Amino acid sequence: MDNKAVARELVRRALERQSVRSTDQAEAPMPLPVSAYLDPYRYRHEIDRIFKRLPLALALSIEIKEPGSFRTMEILGVPVLITRADDGKARAFINTCRHRGAPVCEEKHGKSDRFVCRYHAWSYDHCGKLVGMYGQSTFGDIDRSAFGLTPLPCAERCGLVWVGLRPDVQFDIDEWLGDFAEQLNSLKLTEWYIYTQRELEGPGWKVAWDGYLESYHHNTLHANTVGKFTIGNLMLHDTYGPHQRITFGRKSLMDIMGKPESEWGDPEEHVRLIHSGFPNLSISGILGDHALVSQVFPTDRPDRTITRQTVLAAREPKTDAEKAATEGFSQVTLTAVKDEDYEIGLKIQKGLESGGNREFVFGRNEPALQHYHKWVARLSAVD
Ligand code: FES
Ligand SMILES: [Fe+2]
């Protein structure tokens, strides 16, 4: 099905729900003990089982578009170097020199021929091969091929570079994505233009992430930002293994309610999709020509995360009108997340230890949250 046909079907479903002021719902409300957010032992266990074992979408393919380009980051204490070599392939390595461990690349992103360690100038190519040693003879008869950068498991699919944070853990990306790959492919992520990228500090992983999975708060918390465009507490919910697609209805749905389909205009104008890749990737198209990619990363502090926000535009904004529209989208998403979602999230985080709640409750109207927390439990239980 092409995107328009998918949107048309979603508009039908959304109208059906909205006509009776309903939404897709779980079978029953679901309680979750607050210890799921607070227990430090559980936190470490889940980080180990989930974030350090599953493929994480660490970069967009378009962040390392050209051969020779690279991207570095530190995720949960692991320094990561992602490269695209001349063969066009994306690879990931631990960003530590095999001599005595200094980083081999200290820039966040760019393009280069080689990575030269600043300490003693060992140099590596984009395939991780050790290609240069200063004073090699003083190391005797050394086998250079045994001193390449340590690779991390890495696969490129659907316009994203998926990386595992431990060299000894392997994954099958096609099996992991399953039929969610088709959903991600529909976004054509390789065709967008990166307008801006920024990092935001937010509350702990689960408090931060909960806000990405429901529309219940949109007309209340986001009344003056993203909630202006969408109908609060209306959400369509589709799942693909642990991954999810959430559909919000735009307010324009109210204008076509009861009208024949021939008068709907472009069905994509009436819904907004959020693709939620387990455990920490969210791609939301809040307004037509723009999208927001959010990657929420836990940190060494259980009560804090770093979110990388990437604002995408369908094309590089050139005219004043295009520039204003893209900047407007960028600002509204920044405000909604930083000053609204994370502002209240940090207060929730602070109140967790107060004893005010022994458990939280997810309503029937919060099926994506229920789905997510069930998968956290399921995957952290797997040996
Ligand atoms: S630590 Fe990199 S060359 Fe010595
Ligand atoms: Fe929000």
Residues 180-225 have pLDDT tens digits of 999 999 999 999 999 999 999 999 999 999 999 999 999 999 999 9
pLDDT at 383: 63
Q: Quick check: 128 pLDDT over 90? A: yes
How far apart are the CA of 179 and the centre of ligand 2, in A? Answer: 26
pLDDT at 353: 86
Q: What is the mean pLDDT of residues 299-324?
A: 96
- In this prediction, residue 37 has a pLDDT band, given cuts at 50, 70 and 90, of very high
My answer on whether 226 and 278 are in the same domain is yes
Burial class (CB in 10 A: 0-12, 13-18, 19+), 128: buried
How far apart are the CA of 27 and the centre of ligand 1, in A? Answer: 57
Among 170, 191, 209, residue at a domain's last position: 170
How far apart are the CA of 361 and the centre of ligand 2, in A? Answer: 18
Q: In terms of Cα–Cα distance, which of 46, 45, 71 is closest to 57? A: 71
Q: Is residue 323 assigned to a domain?
A: yes
CATH number at residue 286: 3.90.380.10
Q: What is the mean pLDDT of residues 330-338?
A: 96
Domain that holds residue 119: 56-170
pLDDT at 100: 98
pLDDT at 287: 62
CB-CB contact of 190 with 204 (8 Å): no
Q: Is residue 253 assigned to a domain?
A: yes
My answer on whether 193 and 282 are in the same domain is yes
CATH number at residue 72: 2.102.10.10
Whether the model clears a pTM of 0.75, i.e. scores above it, the answer is yes
Mutation test residue for ligand 1: of 94, 106, 120, the one with most atoms within 8 Å of CB: 120
Give percent of the chain with pLDDT exceeding 90: 95
Q: Is residue 156 assigned to a domain?
A: yes
Minimal-distance CA residue to ligand 1 atom 1: 100
pLDDT at 343: 98
Q: Quick check: 278 pLDDT over 70? A: yes
Q: Is the CB of 100 under 6 A from ligand 1?
A: yes
Among 170, 188, 218, residue at a domain's last position: 170
Among 112, 137, 170, residue at a domain's last position: 170
How many distinct structural domains can be found in the chain? 2
pLDDT at 91: 98
pLDDT at 286: 63
pLDDT mean across residues, the chain = 96
Residues 134-179 have pLDDT tens digits of 999 999 999 999 999 999 999 999 999 999 999 999 999 999 999 9
The minimum-distance atom of ligand 1 relative to the CA of 134 is 3
Q: What is the mean pLDDT of residues 322-331?
A: 96
pLDDT at 288: 73
pLDDT at 285: 82
